[in-house]
Structure formats: structure tokens, C-alpha cells
Amino acid sequence: MSALKDYFSEDYLDSVAATLDGTRLRCPDALRDLKPDLAELELKDRVNAIADRIVEFAELDFPELMSELLVLLPEEKAFEDTHTLGQRHIFEGFGAWPLCSIVERHGLAHWEHSFSAMHRLTKAFSAEFAIRPFLLEDTERAITCLTPLVLDRSEHVRRWVSEGTRPRLPWGKSVPALKDYRSEVLALLESLKFDPSEYVRRSISNHLNDLTREDPELVKSTLERWQQDGVDERLIRHALRGLVKSGDPGALTILGFGAVDVEVRSFALDAEVIRVGDQVEIHADFVVDGPAVVDYVVEFPGAVRVSTKVFKWKHVEAGEHQVKKKHSFKPISTRRYYEGSGRFSLQINGEIVGVASFELKV
């Protein structure tokens, strides 16, 4: 599978340049001239370079530039996650990202035009990154601009309201001032909590999951109230996933997993010595007297200290259970393995109830 950065390829530049050839913008040749630089640029650097090249050579002010670009967008997207050029409009999906980047990097002096552009662009891609500088510059004003959009007819716009204001938006600029406007942002989510679109509700879940890392009690009290209001249980469950993995008792109670009596008959690995590239099978035999969330925790040996990660396993009802699970030690880009002693732990409703040790060989 090719890297996402390869979407913004020489073919993409040719397609964008050809699309802009029929406009007032004087940047098609400048875009083609960017080709030799692509190889050394990573994903966001490519996006930003394309955006900056359009602005630099367009010879139009920001409002005129966006007016020219927005008419080139497709009417409205049905959201699809595909990176294949040629199967869609050039300015749909990831292809519209450089246009969003133009607003993000060059639109701060033009709030009204920028919000109008983001309202349109978020239907083609997502303006979640583009709005972050506006939230940074004037958080209250940006939230005020977003407030009426909770009633927008487009699910893409309604999702943008939630996604753009996430406390910890992946790839997005940090906005520390959002901490001072939690009640205002939560009011936006309140207006969207019964949204008919799963796409919007999933964004709300991710937003609240972000917030659990900063104010878990606020999230739990909010979701308890929402649960009484009849909010979709999937939204609540997904929003609490981080707290559930960490064994938070309040989060578990909200989801119906209270304190249980546990009898662990056995918890073991099928190998005590594991080599990088191997997989190990975990076996657990236990009895619980009520519904339970079963996870396992791995303590990986490190260069200086162990690193710990919780892995989801399954939900079970009251009764006897014999379960097994394979865990891979195959090399992955997000983890470096070190030789040494580690251990697996069985976690039930947030409590460690069994431990099995291993030696990792590199």
C-alpha cells in the first residue's frame, strides 16, 4: 500500500494544473514546477507547498482567490476514504486538502470569507485543520461562528463543528484556550448528541474521548446525563473507551460493569520465552458473578523502564469462561522492542487479577 503522501504526486499536480488552466489563476505552470521538490517532502509539507504555490502565483487577493477555487468543487461529497486519483473529482476528498490549507495558512485576515470557504470546503474534504488558527486567534469568536452550524443540513458541516473543536485533534494545531471555553464547546455537542448521522456522532465520541484525558469527571457526568436522556449507547461506549481501558470505575459503572467477584482458575502464556516476530497465545480460565470487561495488559521491557499498554479483549456475562487470545510481537513502526523481562496481566473491570511473566529475545 502506498503512503498517503503519494496521493499528492506529479500526476496530482498535473491534474490540478489542468483544472486551473481555464481560470484567472496564474499558477498552473508554477504547480508543475513543484514536481522536482516532491520527493523530499512529507505529507503535510506537500499539502502546504501546493497551497502556498497557488497563493504565491495566483495574483489575486484572498477573497477573489477563494471565489475562483470554490466554484471548482463538486456539489457535495458522499464521504469515502479513497486515495486513488482518477476515481473522483480532483478537488474531492484528500484532493481538496490543499484548498483547506490555503484558508488555514492565508485566511486569518479574512474571517468572513474564510468561514464561508470552510463551510463549503468541509463538504469536499474536512476543514477541521483549517479552523484551528481561527480558534487560536479568537476562540470565542470562532465558537460563535460555529454555533448556528449545528443545524446545518449537511452532516459534513455538523461533523466539522465537533471535529474542529476537539481538544486533541490528530494532526491539528493545539488550541490551549479551548480549556477556557469547555462549557461553550459542550453546548455545541449537546446540540448534536441526537444527530441522525453516525458520522457526526462518532466525531462527538472522539471529541469526548479526547476530553477524558483533561477532565474525565466532566465527561463522565455529561455522559451519565446523556444516558438518561436516551443518547445512543454506541456514542457513550466509544467516548468512554480510553477510561474503560484504564479501568476507571466510574466509566465502567456507566456502561453497566460494576464491581464483580472474580475467581481466576488459571492465567498463562503458551511460551515463557518469546522472540521478536513470534506470537504468543494467552489462556485465561475464570468465573465472574456479573457482566465484566476483560482486557489484558502488557508490560514491555524498555531501554530504561518498562512501557505498559492495555489491549481490549472481550465483554462477558456472569458465569465460567475459558478464553484465549493470540498476541503478536511482529515488528511495527509504533513500537521498538527491547530484550528483557516483561509480563502479561489479566484485567477484569479495571482490576488486575492475574499475571504471567515472559522473557523477550531480540
Mean pLDDT of 21-31: 88
Strand partners, 326: 281
Together in a domain, 132 and 32: yes
Strand order from edge to edge, sheet including 273-275: 273-275, 351-361, 340-348, 292-300, 307-316
- Say yes or no to pLDDT of 86 above 70: no
Together in a domain, 231 and 332: no
Together in a domain, 151 and 20: yes
pLDDT digits (tens, 9 = 90+) for 296-314: 999 999 999 999 999 999 9
C-alpha cell at 312: 481490549
**CA 193, CA 171: separation in Å to the nearest integer?**
25
Q: Domain with 195 in it: what CATH number?
A: 1.25.40.290
pLDDT digits (tens, 9 = 90+) for 325-345: 999 999 998 899 999 999 999
In the chain, the amino acid numbered 292 is A
Determine what percent of the chain is predicted with pLDDT higher than 90.
87
Determine what percent of the chain is predicted with pLDDT higher than 70.
96
- Say yes or no to pLDDT of 132 above 60: yes
User: Which residue is listed with cell 523477550?
Assistant: 360
Mean pLDDT of 93-112: 97
Strand partners, 353: none
Please name the residues in contact with 19: beta carbons below 8 A apart, sequence gap of 6 or more.
72, 90, 91
Together in a domain, 131 and 56: yes
C-alpha cell at 288: 465472574
Task: Convert 26-40 to b/e letters by CB count within 10 Å (16 or more is b).
Answer: ebbebbeebeeebee
Phi, psi angles (nearest 5°) of residue 127: -95, 20
Cα radius of gyration rounded to whole Å, the chain: 25
Mean pLDDT of 227-234: 97
Predicted local distance difference test score (pLDDT) of residue 46:
97
Together in a domain, 165 and 105: yes
Mean pLDDT of 278-290: 97
Together in a domain, 22 and 159: yes
Provide the pLDDT confidence category of residue 28 given band limits of 50, 70 and 90.
confident
Predicted local distance difference test score (pLDDT) of residue 83:
45
Together in a domain, 239 and 91: yes
Provide the pLDDT confidence category of residue 22 given band limits of 50, 70 and 90.
confident
Consecutive H or E run containing 261? none
Q: Which residue has the higher pLDDT, 191 or 83?
A: 191
- Say yes or no to pLDDT of 140 above 50: yes
Q: Domain with 344 in it: what CATH number?
A: 2.60.40.10
**CA 110, CA 147: separation in Å to the nearest integer?**
19
Q: Can you tell me whether residue 311 is helix, strand or coil?
A: strand
Q: Which of 186, 219, 254 is the last residue of a domain?
A: 254
Together in a domain, 219 and 284: no
Together in a domain, 267 and 247: no
- Say yes or no to pLDDT of 254 above 70: yes
- Say yes or no to pLDDT of 52 above 70: yes
**CA 208, CA 170: separation in Å to the nearest integer?**
14
**CA 302, CA 285: separation in Å to the nearest integer?**
29
Mean pLDDT of 123-137: 97
Give the domain range for residue 330: 262-361
Together in a domain, 210 and 302: no
Report, in this order, helix, strand and coil percent for the chain, each rounded to 5: 45, 20, 35
Q: Which of 254, 278, 300 is the last residue of a domain?
A: 254
Please name the residues in contact with 273: beta carbons below 8 A apart, sequence gap of 6 or more.
358, 359, 361
Counted domains in the chain: 2
Together in a domain, 133 and 275: no
Predicted local distance difference test score (pLDDT) of residue 76:
67
Sign of the dihedral through C-alpha 202, 205, 210, 211: positive
> Quick check: 313 and 323 in contact, CB under 8 A?
yes
Phi, psi angles (nearest 5°) of residue 97: -60, -45
In the chain, the amino acid numbered 114 is S
* Average pLDDT of the residues of the chain: 94
Predicted local distance difference test score (pLDDT) of residue 111:
98
**CA 298, CA 311: separation in Å to the nearest integer?**
8
Together in a domain, 125 and 266: no
